Structure 1
Amino acid sequence: MDIHAYVPGKAKAEGVADPVKLSANENILGCSEQAREAYAGAAGQLHMYPDSRTSLLRAAVAERFRLEPERLIFGQGSDEVFQLLNQAFLEPGDNIVQGEYGFAAYAIGAYACQAQVRRAKEPNYTIDVDEILKCVDERTRIVFIANPANPTGTWVPFAEIERLHRALPASVVLVLDGAYSEFCNDPAFDDGMDLARTAQNVVVTRTFSKLHGLAALRVGWGYAPAEIAAAVDRIRLPFNISIPGQLAAVAALADEDFQRRSVEHVDRWRPWLAQQLGGLGLEVVLPSAANFLLVGFPKTPGRTAVEAEAFLAGKGLLVRGVGNYGLPHHVRITIGLEEHNRAVTEALAEFLKA
């Protein structure tokens, strides 16, 4: 009962029939038309159990990223991969380490295993390797790092990830959550896949929910050392990825044009929205390397983050309050279509003037 259940981004606004949802970091362009066709084509197989080994998708991911197929873990979103890793490695009294604003799913899974959660300080809303290492002790089993991070959008160069890995005991598993990695194009960034290829204690996770726009189908995966993948497979429930999900994910992975357009859209409108919000006098946490911005609001009554979220909802614009992440004075805004981004800017200008 001490576990705080996950709170998703709002999907409804009172009195608004069809609000614009910018609260869950979904792909505003939708999904690949090829993926949609593959999903529809699976209708004739709904009476069948899916392939428990996700063979088609396993082969597609392995080929695309040059990975050994037997080292892949598949889950209902990367959330399930985190849960499986927690179940495999944690016993009562063990602990995980994550950033103080880290994704809630890490902690929920750890608490469910009766483990402790240690939250390392994040100066400037960014993961700090030295702060992470201060939290590691002989009962630490997993360190979770989202890079880029949610809900802040900040990221750390790969040199810092390497420094962290070198300093961790070999008995600690370093999990690199790459849910938003496709949106970071800085030369200093690396998703860690090559590190995971050779290290015995590194797992990299990815998802089809963000770039590929398949959030409804819940398909995620991880790349792990063979021993870790085999251990996780022992406790993974069978048939966890549906047939429509597997087929749509394979098609989405092949549609590189849709992936390119999705990244280009974020690359264009993320800096524009940041500039506009900054011009209103709001604190935009930069640089965001994901498909959203974290925006800070004054503590002055009438201008707070909670009131801003409610005001935008009244205009049919749903954004995400992140008080449950320890950020009560911020909201997170997904990058929308041009008309959405302009509407948010105009509405917040009106809110701040009022």
Structure 2
Amino acid sequence: MSGPKPLANILEITPYKGGQKLDHGWKLSSNENPLGCSPAAREALSKAAEHLEMYPDGACFALREAIGKKYGVDPDRIVCGAGSDEIFQLLGRAYLKPGDEIIQSQHGFLVYRLVAQQSGAKCISAPETELTASVDAILDRVTDKTRIVFLANPNNPTGSYIPFDEVRRLHKGLRDDILLVLDGAYAEYVRQNDYSAGMDMAGEEPNVLVTRTFSKIHGLAGLRVGWAYGPESVIDALHRVRGPFNVTSVGQAAAIAALADDSFVTKSADHNNDELDRLKPALEKMGYKVYPSVANFLLIQFEDRDGKRAEDADAFLRARGIVIRDMKAYGLPDCMRLSIGTREANDDVLAAFEAFAKAD
């Protein structure tokens, strides 16, 4: 007996694989916060865990209120999810059908493509310029089938971003019935003056949605809490397709506490920027090509010769207890992505990279 068969488009999906880890050493493959999470968030989680027999608040009322107060936006125009990943899945359910198209930049986050495939839609990748999203390339690929444009800004895995005037130019070039999704997972790390996560635009325009997460700078990746802010009509649609209790009670409690701990966020951003400034030139001095990054990771390119390719570096680093992320799935087979770790971890990384550079 053959049993039930899934839809054909589902069998075409290559499941997403997160960053791997070793039994020992440093895991620097998933862009996690090396400082952990806010002590206040940990305490709030512990208190909330005293009542695990109770269902969470399905509306995430207190969390939405806290987010609204923090960013000065209407809580009724916020929807929460199990990480921003779930928000993307909800968008697929609400707005995509077979034959539709989404557009992303060439090396955009892999989950966007998965969302399209699950809905029977097609993912169109727009070429980048020096690993940076190109507004012109995205607009050139808009068709009457385009329903969503996903823009990760900053982008994972390249670490690049486009200035906000370019984001506005992109939006101006889109039809009103195309939803522009601004993925700000790494927004808190960016300190460039020409950058904006797009909250104002999401508050003003009927077809702009901003997504954010507590997984990165807040260090709550294990709890899966994300959110989105945008037009009432879009938020209403997402509420209609989400699960009734899609964010756990402990996740909501920890997120509220994390949101109030500005000192932890500042400490995390300072550490990240200090280590970016230390690691990038040090690696370049060893002869590696390292792309500029405003996020909490670096994209490193390796030579195309025996013994010095990306897979060779991966094996060398793993033997020393260091795991970083290969980029084959992103169409960057000669690159690897290094998450910023603790200073101790980063010292070991520099020593390992130097040894690899000198190895025969």
The TM-score, its normalising length taken from structure 1, stands at 0.98
AA paired with 1:130? D
Tell me the CA shift for residue 240 of structure 1: 0.5
Corresponding residue number in structure 1 for 2:321: 316
Corresponding residue number in structure 2 for 1:307: 312
Match of 1:37 among 29, 32, 43: 43
Which segments of 5 or more consecutive residues in structure 1 lack a partner in the other structure?
Answer: none
Corresponding residue number in structure 2 for 1:176: 182
Corresponding residue number in structure 2 for 1:295: 300
The 1-side partners of 2:210 and 2:82 are apart by 16
Mapped pair 1:186 → 2:192? yes
Superposed CA RMSD in Å reads 0.7
Corresponding residue number in structure 2 for 1:130: 136
Tell me the CA shift for residue 18 of structure 1: 2.0
Match of 1:340 among 345, 355, 359: 345
The 2-side partners of 1:19 and 1:237 are apart by 38
Corresponding residue number in structure 1 for 2:7: none
The 2-side partners of 1:302 and 1:34 are apart by 47
The SS at the match of 1:295 is strand
Corresponding residue number in structure 1 for 2:87: 81
Mapped pair 1:21 → 2:31? no
Q: Are the equivalent residues in 1 in contact too, given 2:27–2:324 (CA < 8 A)?
A: yes
Corresponding residue number in structure 2 for 1:100: 106
The 1-side partners of 2:98 and 2:76 are apart by 30
User: What are the Cα deviations for residues 77-131 of structure 1, in whole angstroms up to 9, with x where unaligned?
Assistant: 0000011111111111000000111101111011000000000001200000000
1:165-244 mapped onto 2 (5 Å cutoff) = 165-244=171-250
The size of the alignment, in residue pairs, is 349
Segments ≥4 residues shifted beyond 4 Å: none
Match of 1:61 among 62, 67, 74: 67
Which segments of 5 or more consecutive residues in structure 2 lack a partner in the other structure?
Answer: 1-10
The 1-side partners of 2:50 and 2:271 are apart by 35
The SS at the match of 2:333 is strand
User: What are the Cα deviations for residues 14-44 of structure 1, in whole angstroms up to 9, with x where unaligned?
Assistant: xxx4221110000000000000001111122
The SS at the match of 2:334 is strand
The 2-side partners of 1:267 and 1:350 are apart by 25
Corresponding residue number in structure 2 for 1:7: 17
The 2-side partners of 1:303 and 1:271 are apart by 25
The 1-side partners of 2:347 and 2:144 are apart by 51
The SS at the match of 2:157 is coil
Q: Are the equivalent residues in 1 in contact too, given 2:287–2:357 (CA < 8 A)?
A: no
Match of 2:148 among 142, 147, 155: 142
User: What are the Cα deviations for residues 285-304 of structure 1, in whole angstroms up to 9, with x where unaligned?
Assistant: 11x01000000000111001
Tell me the CA shift for residue 193 of structure 1: 0.4
Q: Are the equivalent residues in 1 in contact too, given 2:44–2:254 (CA < 8 A)?
A: yes
The SS at the match of 2:336 is strand
AA paired with 1:125? L
Tell me the CA shift for residue 72 of structure 1: 0.4
The 1-side partners of 2:314 and 2:46 are apart by 36
The SS at the match of 1:123 is coil
The 2-side partners of 1:187 and 1:42 are apart by 39
Tell me the CA shift for residue 135 of structure 1: 1.2
Q: Percent identical across equivalent pairs? A: 46
Match of 2:254 among 248, 271, 280: 248
Corresponding residue number in structure 1 for 2:4: none
Corresponding residue number in structure 2 for 1:330: 335
Tell me the CA shift for residue 331 of structure 1: 0.5
